[in-house]
Amino acid sequence: MTIVKPSQFSFSGGGSSSLCSLKGSLLTVAILTFGSLFYLSLNSMRTSPPSPVIVVTPIHVPQTFVNEDKTDNDDGAAPTTEEESYSDVYHSPEAFRLNYAEMEKRFKVYIYPDGDPNTFYQTPRKVTGKYASEGYFFQNIRESRFRTLDPEEANLFFIPISCHKMRGKGTSYENMTVIVQNYVDGLIAKYPYWNRTLGADHFFVTCHDVGVRAFEGSPLLIKNTIRVVCSPSYNVGFIPHKDVALPQVLQPFALPAGGNDVENRTTLGFWAGHRNSKIRVILARVWENDTELDISNNRINRATGHLVYQKRFYRTKFCICPGGSQVNSARITDSIHYGCIPVILSDYYDLPFNDILNWRKFAVVLREQDVYNLKQILKNIPHSEFVSLHNNLVKVQKHFQWNSPPVKFDAFHMIMYELWLRHHVIKY
């Protein structure tokens, strides 16, 4: 090694030489310090235990929920109360469970006691036929826990005027419109509750399409109130976040509910009915002669046998549900009851309980233009998927059943739940 003598670094001027020496010393110290720190750090990495791995556990939403009043067995056996899985059919099973329980505790509805006896809620026209949903609601609300006689504790106010009953008595559409308008004007004049929200916390129920037209004679009813209707077409004024789709149920059902029997369903698809809409005309024209789809362009005549139409549902995998004169059809709830997967062929239809139930888990939802490829679409559905759809369909049957008195989770309670969800958006 060649040793460099200090004289080799001499510069002119003593001050400059001292300054350079100081800088060199500081640089040497810095290099040694950095080297020491690097060595200590490297040695620490070799000898220290590894840092713990933090595992983030996702929030678990229960896949099932049990009646809250159940008790566990002392011997550790499985609970004896019924457990039901909601994970496949609800958008948010836990939210539904909690909100439903809250509704049962707190929801109160005041029913106006005034009105023409021919339209008064105490005397619904009937609870049979394809408009039975209206009659059942009028009857159920009167005998339910949700009714209150104190308007000051009410969350919502029910306008109990039945256009279906008026229609049954031969009242013309024009007269129905006048009756509805006069009735609502009388409530506004007599009670202070409408004026607090301009009717936003009021609702009415009608299943007949003529009834919807009769209420349209009162612009305030259409704009402000919650409309519970069987024809929820959102291209002609239905507002999903405000209004409620009432399922059109043909009651009483002629035969028992279809269970989990999938092996005997050998027919691919079935529809029989009147050609009273464009989509039905196309459906009949394209598929009525098909050998795998059972399509009839007329209703099945009762003379061919007892309950022949209803029994077809038991033997079919997919039941075609095209819109009729309105977007809705009682055929959808028939399909659900008899265990036949409904195939929705109706544009602009806000399906009942659509914000609660995931319809694509138990039904096939198509656009009307898909009618031309209908058979291939249905044949492309694997058997495993069909079985899953059918199992989920059985789970939701109770939601499309009316009872008197009402039963937990039935159609009445689902409508009340929809109303409960909407009452939260009302501001005084």
In the structure, what pLDDT confidence band is assigned to residue 281 with cuts at 50, 70 and 90? very high
Mean pLDDT score across all residues of the chain: 78
Does 332 or 42 have the greater pLDDT score?
A: 332
pLDDT at 428: 45
Does position 224 have pLDDT exceeding 50, yes or no? yes
Does position 99 have pLDDT exceeding 50, yes or no? yes
CA dihedral 175, 142, 249, 396 (to 10 degrees): 150
Structure token digits, residue 181: 């308008």
Q: Write the CB contacts of 65 (distance below 8 Å, at least 6 apart in sequence).
A: 83, 84, 86, 93, 94, 97
Question: Rounded CA gap, 2 and 137, in Å?
Answer: 107
Query: What Cα–Cα distance (Å) separates residue 147 from each residue in 90, 95, 116, 194, 305?
Result: 27, 24, 20, 18, 44
Q: How many CA atoms lie within 13 A of 38 on its CB side?
A: 6
Taking each helix axis from N to C terminus, what angle separates 132-142 and 411-423, rounded to the nearest 10 degrees? Answer: 70
pLDDT at 78: 38
pLDDT tens for 152-208 read: 999 999 998 887 777 777 778 888 888 888 888 989 999 999 999 999 999 999 887
* Stretch among 75-79, 107-111, 151-155, 321-325 having the lowest mean pLDDT: 75-79
Question: Rounded CA gap, 393 and 91, in Å?
Answer: 15
pLDDT at 118: 60
pLDDT tens for 40-53 read: 444 433 333 333 33
pLDDT at 93: 93
In the structure, what pLDDT confidence band is assigned to residue 280 with cuts at 50, 70 and 90? very high
pLDDT tens for 339-387 read: 999 999 988 888 999 999 999 999 999 999 999 999 999 999 999 999 9
pLDDT at 316: 96
3-state class (DSSP) for residue 78: coil
Among 227, 114, 119, 134, which Cα is nearest to 166's? 119
Mean pLDDT value across residues 26-45: 45
In the structure, what pLDDT confidence band is assigned to residue 15 with cuts at 50, 70 and 90? very low
pLDDT at 235: 59
Alpha helices in 276-373 (DSSP H): 278-287, 308-314, 330-338
Edge-to-edge, what's the strand order for the sheet holding 226-229? 147-148, 109-111, 156-158, 202-206, 226-229, 244-245
Mean pLDDT value across residues 123-143: 83
pLDDT at 50: 37
Among 227, 228, 220, which Cα is nearest to 188's? 220
The answer to whether residues 161 and 115 touch, using CB atoms and an 8 Å cutoff, is: yes
Question: Rounded CA gap, 378 and 344, in Å?
Answer: 12
Does 229 or 126 have the greater pLDDT score?
A: 229
The answer to whether residues 298 and 317 touch, using CB atoms and an 8 Å cutoff, is: no
Alpha helices in 5-92 (DSSP H): 14-47
Does 28 or 300 have the greater pLDDT score?
A: 300
Question: Rounded CA gap, 201 and 214, in Å?
Answer: 20
In the structure, what pLDDT confidence band is assigned to residue 2 with cuts at 50, 70 and 90? very low
- Position 85: which residue type? S
pLDDT at 57: 30
Number of helices (H), then strands (E), in the chain: 14, 13
Long-range contacts at 252-256 (CB < 8 A, ≥ 24 apart): 252/128, 253/334, 253/337, 253/338, 254/307, 254/310, 255/307, 255/310, 255/311, 255/314, 255/338
Does position 273 have pLDDT exceeding 80, yes or no? yes
Helix H or strand E encompassing 117: none
pLDDT at 145: 93
In the structure, what pLDDT confidence band is assigned to residue 312 with cuts at 50, 70 and 90? very high
Edge-to-edge, what's the strand order for the sheet holding 293-296? 293-296, 267-272, 316-322, 341-345, 364-366
